Structure 1
Amino acid sequence: MRKIVVLVFCLANLFTAFGQKRSFGEVVPDDFEKKNFFYLKLVDSLELPNSIDLSKKMPPAADQNPRGTCWAFASTYSIISYMSNVSKADDYFYQNGKPDYSKIKSPELPIQLYFGSNANCDAGATTKDLLLKTLVEYGSISMEELKYSALCSQSISDELKNKAKLNSTSEYDVEVVHKDDMITLKKVLSQGQPLIISIRVDTNFKKIKDNVVDYYKPMWDTYKIGKGWHAMTVVGYNDSIKAVKVMNSWGEKWGNKGHLWISYDIIKNYARYYCYPVVRPKITIDTLEIVAENSKAFTFEEKTELSSWFKSGYYRKFNTLKIKLLYLNYKKEDDEYGLIEISDEEDTVLSKFYIQNNSSKEFYINNVKYSFTFNNVGRIGYNFTKKAMFFTMKEL
């Protein structure tokens, strides 16, 4: 089981700012700092701009209320809503000066799907993991169709879940940027992409006042006593004041219309990571790698069961179906998952799903019920850097 250093529940971190309750909700694994971060090769600029501000292209700052759901607001409400602003136009999420909730993505969907029921929606989560699951598995749906409930008491119909899933895609992945990598952070923002920041906030952060009208205030630039992990959306930076601009999820009355400037020194010392969505390179399926049906890698019981290995970018045949492994995450032992796509012989996609290691999923294709089990992850030959999935698929 994954060990957690900080599991922040909303009720354990309530505090009052002008009589209003505020909450956190970010969860940080205890081995996070041990990871080897990949420094991204983005489009190079001879000279990065002095400042970037994407806040006008974002939805209005919402209020998570007294629940530990900052991760859902930073990922779905902010980042995935922003991705729907294809033209990247200012005030895209407004109509006649008011929020247009038909264009803003609901954080309620990932909250309830992530925990499996509404009973645990007050618990925290790791935002980078939630962002990936929302992109490739959950999909998204508008606030107009599914409002956010601070009590997390509403149920979500299968119709809405299926409609949201149509917006999921295997084309995206989530990249993590190390907290010290300011160059990459600026490059991502300068190319028009906001990021999520995971940071440990303190008592000074909690003292930020509401309705601050000075553009560069509030400025969080001194740190006292840490109070909990929090996820917010980075929407800009400014080298003149040496700070990044973030959008919080405590409503528009907090800070400057829900925004805050954080000094470079604070984020270098107290942030844990940044993350943002990227387009995954397209995978070309190499048909020469298909294992023949008479191979020992296959085990059949009247062709109703198949157990085999495969690696990312390859597939196995099961009667008239192609079982494709689009993506395999194996960097963390207790968070291994795969993205599976099943198609017919003409490559028409029939089913696509995300599955964790040591779990099973049942589904129908052409009125036939199947089960897919992710059994194990193993290395390929003597190359320890290449991993493969061992799976079992059955016709039930």
Structure 2
Amino acid sequence: MLKYQNKQPKLVMKKLHLLLFVLTLSLTGCYNDRDDLNPSGNNNPQIPEVPQETDNQFVAEDGEVYFTGLECSGNGNYNLDTENLLQDLIIPDNLPESFDLSEFLPPVGNQGELGSCTSWATSYYMKSFQEKIESGLPYSDANILSPSYTYNQLTSDDCGGTSIQETLALIEEQGVAALEIFPYTENECETQPDDATIEAAAQARIADYKALSGENMIAEMKTLLTRQQPIIIGAVLSPEFGKTDNFGLTAYREHAVDYEEVTCHAMLVVGYNDEFGAFKVVNSWGEAWGDNGFVWIDYLAFENVGDIEASFRVIKQAYVAYDL
């Protein structure tokens, strides 16, 4: 079975990045050697920057290494999906001071040594949550959905990162197979679903997905959560991620981010608490990490999305998906 053919195949993009890099080196040499190409005498022309992928690993304060895997550029710029924006969301005046959907999640899992965080946030947590809300059945391998189903179809041969948008598009098109049918494997990403598995996966599709604009983001996210709609986020992680804050929480609080020391990671926002001034987020590094697998991300991270002068800009993307 061939891998899922998305609209922007990862291997092609990597080849294009390599080609651009080679051309960049060639152009640099030409400009430095030939003054006639630059009559002004400026031998340092502006050459377009080639996007660089971050490493799919995060090293914690204790030296423990965790894998990430979101496909993104390692800077603080918010990637806005302008063609698929969430619009006309009505914000109520009486939002509760706290809200938590984590009781409806499947057990906290561990992605292991694969760059599969995006499929954990979407296929495993988000889609299993939706099926739980719909059916009310207790969790088992028959209704917990497999990260490998989407990840294996989208990742490259080196088991690297994948994008949130492409993963959601695949869930909309195909759905997700249960762990019972397509188990998660921590050490390989080559196994592809057969026709019977793809047919079974169609029972767990999404109807649509939308990107958050980044405007009024805290209120929008609170509103979505109170409507039982968790939010998939992409973030850059600095070494400050997961440190203990003044509340005794595993958190991600305000600091000046050094973007030379970050990696990209996808997670699912499942709650918030105004007392802590933070959103509750489920991670895919196992229950032994963080607060039983959860981390609190400061409201300021979401407030700063549109502030290009802010030093604490770590949110790259945010999506909500609607059950079919």
C-alpha distance in structure 2 between counterparts of 1:14 and 1:187, whole Å:
31
1:42 has 2:62 as partner = no
Structure 2: distance between partners of 1:46 and 1:258: 32
Q: Which AA in structure 2 matches 1:195?
A: I
State the partner residue of 2:212: 177
Q: Indicate the residue corresponding to 1:200 in structure 2.
A: 236
- Return closer, same or farther for 1:154/1:279 CA change in 2, 3 Å cut-off: closer
Q: CA deviation at 1:274?
A: 1.0
How far is 1:178 from its partner? 2.7
Aligned residues of 1:25 and 1:125 also touching (Cα < 8 A):
yes
1:247 aligns with 2:265: no
Paired position in structure 1 for 2:114: 67
Residues 159 and 34 of structure 1, relative CA distance in 2, 3 Å threshold: closer
1:263: Cα distance to partner?
A: 0.7
Partners in 2 of 1:75 and 1:33 — Cα distance? 18
Change in Cα spacing, 1:215 to 1:164, as seen in structure 2 (3 Å) is farther
Amino acid at match of 1:271: I
Amino acid of the structure 2 residue aligned with 1:49? P
Partner of 1:102: 142
Q: Which amino acid aligns with 2:141?
A: Y
Paired position in structure 2 for 1:222 = 254
Aligned to 1:102, what secondary structure does the other structure show? coil
- 2:191 paired with 1:155: yes
TM-score, normalization by structure 2: 0.71
Task: Flag the 1:183–1:230 CA change in 2: closer, same or farther, 3 A.
Answer: same
Offset, 1:46: 3.2
- In 2, the alpha carbon distance for the partners of 1:157 and 1:231 equals 23
* Partners of 2:286 and 2:61 in 1: CA distance: 12
Instruction: Check whether the contact 1:198–1:274 (CA below 8 A) recurs between aligned residues.
Output: yes
CA 1:32–1:182 in 2, change beyond 3 Å: closer, same or farther? closer
1:6–1:47: structure 2 CA closer, same or farther, 3 Å change rule? farther
Q: 2:231 is matched by which residue type in structure 1?
A: L
Structure 1 residues 239 and 32: CA distance shift in structure 2, 3 A: closer
State how far apart, in whole Å, the 2-side matches of 1:87 and 1:6 are.
40
**Displacement after TM superposition at 1:126 (Å):** 1.3
**Counterpart residue number, 1:133:** 170
Counterpart of 1:28 in 2: which secondary structure?
coil
Letter in 1 for 2:286: G
Write the letter of the residue equivalent to 2:168. L
**Offset of residue 9 of structure 1:** 4.5
- C-alpha contact (below 8 Å) 2:86/2:210 kept by paired residues: no
Distance of aligned partners of 1:198 and 1:152 in 2 relative to their CA distance in 1, 3 Å threshold: same
Which structure would you say has the larger RCO, counting Cα contacts within 8 Å and 6 or more residues apart?
Answer: 2
**Kindly tell me: are residues 7 and 93 of structure 1, through their superposed partners in 2, closer, same or farther at Cα, counting changes over 3 Å?**
farther
Structure 1 length-normalised TM:
0.59
Summarize deviations over 1:155-212 as a string: whole Å, max 9, x none: 345144333343265x61110013342221111111111110111110011x547xx9
* Residue in 2 that maps onto 1:270: 314
Partner of 2:130: 83
Bigger proportion of residues as strand: 1
Write out aligned runs for 1:1-396 (5 A).
5-10=51-56, 13-15=57-59, 18=62, 20-28=64-72, 33=79, 36=82, 38-87=85-134, 93-94=138-139, 100-115=140-155, 119-120=157-158, 122-136=159-173, 138-152=174-188, 155-167=191-203, 169=205, 172-180=207-215, 181-205=217-241, 208=243, 217-223=249-255, 224-226=257-259, 227-267=262-302, 268=304, 269-278=313-322
Distance apart, 1:241 and its partner CA: 1.6
SS of equivalent residue, structure 1 residue 85: helix
1: CA distance between counterparts of 2:254 and 2:247?
19
Cα distance in 1, alignment partners of residues 233 and 107 from structure 2: 18
Query: Cα distance, 1:225 vs. partner?
Result: 3.0
In structure 2, give the amino acid aligned to 1:167. Answer: Q
1:323 match: none
Max Rg structure:
1
Q: What CA deviation, in whole Å up to 9, does each residue of 1:226-273 have, x standing for no partner? A: 411110000011122210000001001111110011111133332022
Q: 1:154 and 1:39 mapped to 2: Cα distance?
A: 34
Report the Cα distance in structure 2 between the residues aligned to 1:261 and 1:14, rounded to whole angstroms.
17
Cα offsets for 1:310-339 (capped at 9, x unmatched): xxxxxxxxxxxxxxxxxxxxxxxxxxxxxx
Asked if 2 retains the 8 angstrom alpha-carbon contact of 1:246 and 1:260, the reply is: yes
Q: Secondary structure at the match of 1:86?
A: helix
RMSD after superposition: 3.0
Distance 1:156 1:39 in 2: 33
Unaligned runs of 5+ residues in structure 2 are 1-11, 18-49, 305-312
